[in-house]
Structure 1
């Protein structure tokens, strides 16, 4: 089978089915990647986890069961961009006290922001997802940035800065329309950690406009910047905004596109999702 045999453009009218788990007996054996494709409301044992509501960039096409979770951001007094981590506390479950990271009514939005938003695809075992992991929470450029402008501007580990996105109203790279938004890829809460938490950031006028009358976006975005955990909810691949030349075949030239199985996300449409967060490993 060629690389293109399993890729059906939206306009073809063909419905794409993903070979995978069938039947209740098979579900019992689902591991980290398979569980990412299950969007059910139930409970799970361990440190945290269970039925979780999260704000996410909307999944609009492909096999992904839901959107990727948004990361609230703030810009410090020097212009560096960071992801906000929820407030760390303790709660008792079945007589056992565990640490949690959760902020009720985040920024007066009415939304409860929790680290459980990010507990899927094995990320729940990453050091940076542990509530008490010590981090300054800045977004940092990774080892192999996806964009030429970012390669020319940053070295690995450099903090992302608002000034480097000043041309966001005009920026383009030949994929889709110019001026939709300027992106960067990076890492979050991953300094001195074995596992890297991948993130994507976009600065766009669309976010500035949407935040004017949306309490959640007013609280979770800043100066047109929005960010999300960049792990596809289908099989845990790392998608990209304006990274793949074939994205237009699937209507994703101005969105986030996962080349693995053609899932598409809209970073300018933020929706509430319900899924089963995986428990963090017991300490």
Structure 2
């Protein structure tokens, strides 16, 4: 993995102004502009380039931008899945390539594509190939929380019923009742490179989605999800997983123990960055 892949230089930054929605400080989603612009790449491959995505905001530490949100759906049996865009054939530099892309996600006007996740080497993972066969359900990993280890075996699909106590849940890190988290994988069945994700069900997200077109389309029943790869050096952060987070005022945020980057899962911002291309097949 190259240094430019792991740690893109930051060439500018502008935070969105937050507004209080349903008691939660949530960024002004849909506002024009960008939170960060990062270095370009001249590598060959498919997709990539200048990309605008929605992300949970980076609020402290060396990370250059937030971690990208994964739009979700919940099926009739309560199982939670990440939405994968439809596969299209497009022409890039005179060559036809396949990309997972939707220009107007659920009528929001947002272009949602696999490019959102093409950083930190994830662009080379099998699960990010546009036509990778997957049911797209979020599946439990070994579990970073006691409740999760009790409820699931590795590979089990995450179900909304297991988050019923989300308005009360706590684990003695930070404030209880902010939301109930789980860790897992996405589009990673029977592959070597596993895509890590984090899921959080929160009343704050549920309330904010009532007044926000993007959150209404990309979350459900207060469940939000993101690709859990720190944009600084590609470590895997955690929400309420480390008691050390309090030293950096991150006990109620997503904290990366590697270099103390902090993210706010209740602040969803637009980021502009240069996504890396998938390797040529």
- TM-score range (shorter-chain normalised) is 0.7 to 0.9
Work out the CA distance in 2 between the residues paired with 1:277 and 1:86.
Answer: 16
Equivalences for 1:163-182 in 2 at 5 Å?
163-182=161-180
Equivalences for 1:5-16 in 2 at 5 Å?
none
What is the CA deviation profile of residues 141-173 of structure 1, one whole-angstrom value per residue up to 9, with x for unaligned ones? 01x210000000100100000000000000000
Instruction: Indicate conservation of the 8 Å contact 1:41/1:274, yes or no.
Output: no
Instruction: Indicate conservation of the 8 Å contact 2:72/2:218, yes or no.
Output: yes
Work out the CA distance in 2 between the residues paired with 1:179 and 1:227.
Answer: 18
Q: Point out where structure 1 has 5 or more consecutive residues left out of the alignment.
A: 1-28
Instruction: Indicate conservation of the 8 Å contact 2:127/2:188, yes or no.
Output: yes
Aligned-residue offset at 1:42? 4.0
Work out the CA distance in 1 between the residues paired with 2:80 and 2:10.
Answer: 31
Report the equivalent of 1:78: 77
Q: TM-score, normalised by structure 2?
A: 0.88
What SS is found at the alignment partner of 2:197? Answer: strand
Q: 2:181 aligns with which of 164, 173, 183?
A: 183
Instruction: Indicate conservation of the 8 Å contact 1:175/1:244, yes or no.
Output: yes
Superposition CA RMSD, Å: 1.4
Q: 2:7 aligns with which of 30, 34, 39?
A: 34
For the pair shown, the structure with the greater C-alpha radius of gyration is 1
Instruction: Indicate conservation of the 8 Å contact 2:108/2:213, yes or no.
Output: yes
Q: Point out where structure 2 has 5 or more consecutive residues left out of the alignment.
A: 12-36
CA distance 1:146–1:40, change in 2 (3 Å): same
Equivalences for 1:92-131 in 2 at 5 Å?
92-131=91-130
CA distance 1:261–1:41, change in 2 (3 Å): closer
Work out the CA distance in 1 between the residues paired with 2:246 and 2:120.
Answer: 27
Report the equivalent of 2:24: none
Work out the CA distance in 2 between the residues paired with 1:265 and 1:187.
Answer: 20
Work out the CA distance in 2 between the residues paired with 1:231 and 1:66.
Answer: 11
Report the equivalent of 1:210: 208
Work out the CA distance in 2 between the residues paired with 1:180 and 1:37.
Answer: 31
What is the CA deviation profile of residues 200-244 of structure 1, one whole-angstrom value per residue up to 9, with x for unaligned ones? 000000001110111000000000000000000000000000000
Q: 1:199 aligns with which of 197, 202, 208?
A: 197
What SS is found at the alignment partner of 2:274? Answer: strand
Report the equivalent of 1:156: 154
What SS is found at the alignment partner of 1:248? Answer: helix
CA distance 1:118–1:37, change in 2 (3 Å): farther
Q: Aligned pairs, how many?
A: 254
Instruction: Indicate conservation of the 8 Å contact 2:7/2:231, yes or no.
Output: no
What is the CA deviation profile of residues 86-115 of structure 1, one whole-angstrom value per residue up to 9, with x for unaligned ones? 111110112210001111121111211010
Work out the CA distance in 2 between the residues paired with 1:138 and 1:40.
Answer: 31
- The structure with the greater share of residues assigned to strand is 2
